[in-house]
Amino acid sequence: MSADTGPGVRVPPPVIVALLLAAAWLMQRVLPVPLGPPLPELGMLMFFAALLLIGLSLLALVHAGNDPRPDRPDKALVEAGPFRFSRNPVYLGFLVAMFGFALRWGDLWGWVALVGGHLLLDRMVVAREEAYLAARFGAAYEAYRGRVRRWL
């Protein structure tokens, strides 16, 4: 039996999100494309809601004995806390944070970053993690997958 090496996520998801947000910020400075008025208060509210969701999700992972880094093997299938409502609450939190920045800036590039973030997280991270979890936890994961939506 081979050693469990985790889902094989190569680029840490926070790096993906940070790079996209940095690129969006730079693009709005260099080539602004305003879509409407910036909504800084609502954007910050969304950002802080995202931090809460991410924090609660990480606590649930650690409480279950898992290392929250997506390149590490999981010891337990987590179904508690935010994982009761989303199979990917940490990544959902990242997307909500990106949504907050897009609202705050009121520019096309924030929305482009959000769409790009969703696509990259979904394909480069979530798809790998789901395949790993299905192989690692079998029927228990399939039952969980049947009860809980991928995102929300």
Other C-beta atoms within 10 Å of 6: how many?
Answer: 17
Residue 23 half-sphere exposure, CB side, CA atoms within 13 Å? 12
- CA 65 – CA 84 distance, rounded (Å): 17
CB 125 within 8 A of CB 13: yes
CA dist 24 and 79 (Å) reads: 34
- pTM, two decimals, is 0.95
Measured CA to CA, the distance from residue 90 to residue 132 in angstroms comes to 17
Length of the chain: 152
3 state SS for 102-144: HHHHCEHHHHHHHHHHHHHHHHHHHHHHHHHHHHHHCHHHHHH
Residue pLDDT tens, the chain, 152 long: 457 888 999 999 999 999 999 999 999 999 999 999 999 999 999 999 999 999 999 999 999 999 999 989 999 999 999 999 999 999 999 999 999 999 999 999 999 999 999 999 999 999 999 999 999 999 999 999 999 999 99
The three-class DSSP label of residue 34 is: strand
Sign of the dihedral defined by the CA atoms of residues 126, 94, 96, 111, in that order: negative
